[in-house]
Amino acid sequence: MSQNILFLAHVSEAGNALPKASYEVLGAAVKLTKQLGANLTIGLIGEDVAAAAETIAAAGTERILAVSGPDFATARYASDAAAAEAICRSAAADLILAPASSRFMRVLPGVAHRLNGCADTHVTSLEADAVNGELRAARWYYRQRIETVIRRDARPWIVLLEPGCEAAWTGMPGPVKIEKLSLPKFATRTTVTGIRAPQSDAQTIRPDADLLFVAGAGWTKKQSDGKTHVPEAEKLILDFLRAAGSSLGGSKSLVDQSGESQAVLRFMTHLNQVGQTGSTPRHPKGLSMCCHGEEPHVVGWRFINERRAVNLDPNCGWARGKADVLYVADAFEVLANLNARLTPVAQSSPEAMPQEA
Ligand SMILES: Cc1cc2nc3c(=O)[nH]c(=O)nc-3n(C[C@H](O)[C@H](O)[C@H](O)COP(=O)(O)OP(=O)(O)OC[C@H]3O[C@@H](n4cnc5c(N)ncnc54)[C@H](O)[C@@H]3O)c2cc1C
């Protein structure tokens, strides 16, 4: 059965670029298009999509549709829904693949309703059966403990794919022809007056980072000299995050401390918590320091492919099959050494790296 597949994306508010997660969704769309012998259309939304469209010129599409202009610069339900609906209708799409960004998660289920179709969010894979081409989407429930496989007859079917689950599409940029769609009137009552966000230094959650650095409560505990060294821990961790461009996670014990009037790392919030009652981030690599490696925490590492940990305790949870490599060492020394290697100016007295356990 011939199908029309639509890859739908929005450009970033700052810079009008496509985020990495969008290239991953494009990778999935291109793969399915080939497998199913389908037609691929690209749909883009944002203030100015021209440069982003050029980066995906080689994706093998005949049509690039766009709804763009100042009205589409920032997320707003009415304008985003109208834009997505117009693109889906113009593409006559049966299957719509889009990144699970907060902007799209808010709006695309409503668009599915307008199109008399259906939507699935938080999808981690979308496969076509090799024999009959039937589509199967997978997603996790109950804190990533139960994986379900979804088949649907309803069309159009909007599938929002989670980041970090597919290889990002790559190809040479080139000139493109964009079909700009103009919309009938849509509501513009909501005005975006600004964004309140933590200071840029405090923006430590980076879903696109190659490495997840996870800090545990040990950073704030008394060390061998009988004292705590929280300001030093803060500096070491922030320097590392900056130098390595990694994302920051925390154990529950550490993020809970701020509510218990204990010494805290000031940039650590409950949003950083990884685990059963925290998040389950996806990164190729993870590095844990001063965290014991308890099961309720490690369950959040399910999608971290390569895991390393640093702990003073050779019997900690990481040593029991939870990490690929455990360094039995003082995290303060290891991180100072790592920072010196990552930042050449600070390489005055590099210390020996600890041995692998
Ligand atoms: C229902 C339930 C749900 C939970 N959900 C979560 C969850 O979502 N996320 C989560 O994280 N936890 C969760 N927990 C709590 C979890 O079981 C652990 O208590 C918690 O993760 C421990 O945090 P921690 O390893 O940072 O602290 P600790 O257990 O205090 O460990 C600190 C570690 O630091 C090491 N250390 C100290 N100083 C140094 C140094 N200088 N160098 C190297 N190592 C050092 C110590 O050896 C120690 O192993 C849950 C618990 C329950 C019961």
Same domain as 49, residue 105: yes
Res 54 pLDDT > 90 = yes
For residue 135, tell me if it sits in a domain: yes
Contact 176, 63 (CB under 8 A): no
Res 301 pLDDT > 60 = yes
- The candidate with the shortest Cα–Cα distance to 24, out of 226, 158, 160, is 160
- CATH code of the domain containing 225: 3.40.50.1220
Same domain as 35, residue 176: yes
Q: Which atom of ligand 1 is nearest to the CA of 313?
A: 47
- The alpha carbon of 304 and the centre of ligand 1 are apart by a number of angstroms equal to 18
Confidence band (pLDDT; 50, 70, 90) for 2?
low
Look at ligand 1, atom 31, and give the residue with the nearest C-alpha.
292
Q: Which atom of ligand 1 is nearest to the CA of 277?
A: 8
For residue 174, tell me if it sits in a domain: yes
Q: Which atom of ligand 1 is nearest to the CA of 276?
A: 8
Per DSSP, what are the bridge partners of residue 66? Answer: 44, 180
- The alpha carbon of 216 and the centre of ligand 1 are apart by a number of angstroms equal to 6
- The alpha carbon of 163 and the centre of ligand 1 are apart by a number of angstroms equal to 27
Measured distance CA(80)–CA(106) in Å, rounded: 10
- From 149, 180, 211, the end of a domain falls on 180
When mean pLDDT is compared across 23-37, 129-143, 167-181, 285-299, the lowest value belongs to 129-143
Average the pLDDT over 236-259 and give the result: 91
For residue 164, tell me if it sits in a domain: yes
Res 37 pLDDT > 90 = yes
Give the per-residue pLDDT at 262.
67
Contact 95, 5 (CB under 8 A): yes
Res 258 pLDDT > 90 = no
For residue 190, tell me if it sits in a domain: no
For residue 321, tell me if it sits in a domain: yes
For residue 235, tell me if it sits in a domain: yes
For residue 187, tell me if it sits in a domain: no
- Bigger pLDDT: 346 or 33? 33
Contact 327, 310 (CB under 8 A): yes
Residue 176 structure tokens: 């493109």
Residue ranges making up the domain that contains 332: 200-346
- From 180, 213, 236, the end of a domain falls on 180
Look at ligand 1, atom 38, and give the residue with the nearest C-alpha.
218
Residue whose CB lies within 8 A of the most ligand 1 atoms, among 142, 228, 251, for a mutation test: 251
Same domain as 220, residue 130: no
Q: Which atom of ligand 1 is nearest to the CA of 310?
A: 43
Res 347 pLDDT > 60 = no
Dihedrals φ, ψ of 307, to 5°? -120, 130
Characterize the bridge pairing of strands 325-328 and 304-311.
parallel
Same domain as 281, residue 173: no
- The alpha carbon of 176 and the centre of ligand 1 are apart by a number of angstroms equal to 52
Look at ligand 1, atom 37, and give the residue with the nearest C-alpha.
218
When mean pLDDT is compared across 81-95, 150-164, 202-216, the lowest value belongs to 202-216
Give the per-residue pLDDT at 261.
59
Same domain as 217, residue 127: no
Res 248 pLDDT > 50 = yes
Same domain as 207, residue 335: yes
For residue 189, tell me if it sits in a domain: no
When mean pLDDT is compared across 14-23, 40-49, 277-286, 343-352, the lowest value belongs to 343-352
Res 127 pLDDT > 90 = yes
- The alpha carbon of 221 and the centre of ligand 1 are apart by a number of angstroms equal to 12
Same domain as 215, residue 99: no
What's the predicted TM-score (pTM) here? 0.74
Average the pLDDT over 106-110 and give the result: 97
Q: Which atom of ligand 1 is nearest to the CA of 215?
A: 26
In whole numbers, what is the pLDDT of the chain averaged over residues?
A: 91
Give the per-residue pLDDT at 198.
60
Same domain as 139, residue 225: no
Res 73 pLDDT > 50 = yes
Residue whose CB lies within 8 A of the most ligand 1 atoms, among 254, 260, 294, 332, for a mutation test: 294
Please give all residues whose beta carbon lies within 6 A of any atom in ligand 1, as ranges.
216-218, 221, 223, 251-254, 273-278, 290-292, 294, 296-297, 300, 310-313, 316, 330-332
Look at ligand 1, atom 30, and give the residue with the nearest C-alpha.
217
- The alpha carbon of 255 and the centre of ligand 1 are apart by a number of angstroms equal to 10
Amino acid letter for position 148: T
Contacts by 205-209, CB closer than 8 A, 24 or more apart: 205/247, 205/248, 205/271, 205/272, 206/245, 206/246, 206/247, 207/21, 207/163, 207/164, 207/247, 207/281, 207/282, 208/19, 208/20, 208/21, 208/163, 209/245, 209/246, 209/247, 209/283
Give the per-residue pLDDT at 59.
96
- The alpha carbon of 299 and the centre of ligand 1 are apart by a number of angstroms equal to 13
Look at ligand 1, atom 45, and give the residue with the nearest C-alpha.
290
Give the per-residue pLDDT at 75.
93
Same domain as 209, residue 290: yes
Res 349 pLDDT > 80 = no
Confidence band (pLDDT; 50, 70, 90) for 352?
very low
Q: Which atom of ligand 1 is nearest to the CA of 216?
A: 26
Domain count, the chain: 2
Residue whose CB lies within 8 A of the most ligand 1 atoms, among 290, 308, 322, 328, for a mutation test: 290
Average the pLDDT over 211-216 and give the result: 97
Measured distance CA(329)–CA(290) in Å, rounded: 10
Give the per-residue pLDDT at 202.
60
Dihedrals φ, ψ of 207, to 5°? -60, -25
Amino acid letter for position 199: Q
- The alpha carbon of 294 and the centre of ligand 1 are apart by a number of angstroms equal to 6
- CATH code of the domain containing 28: 3.40.50.620
Same domain as 152, residue 281: no
Same domain as 205, residue 173: no
Same domain as 311, residue 236: yes
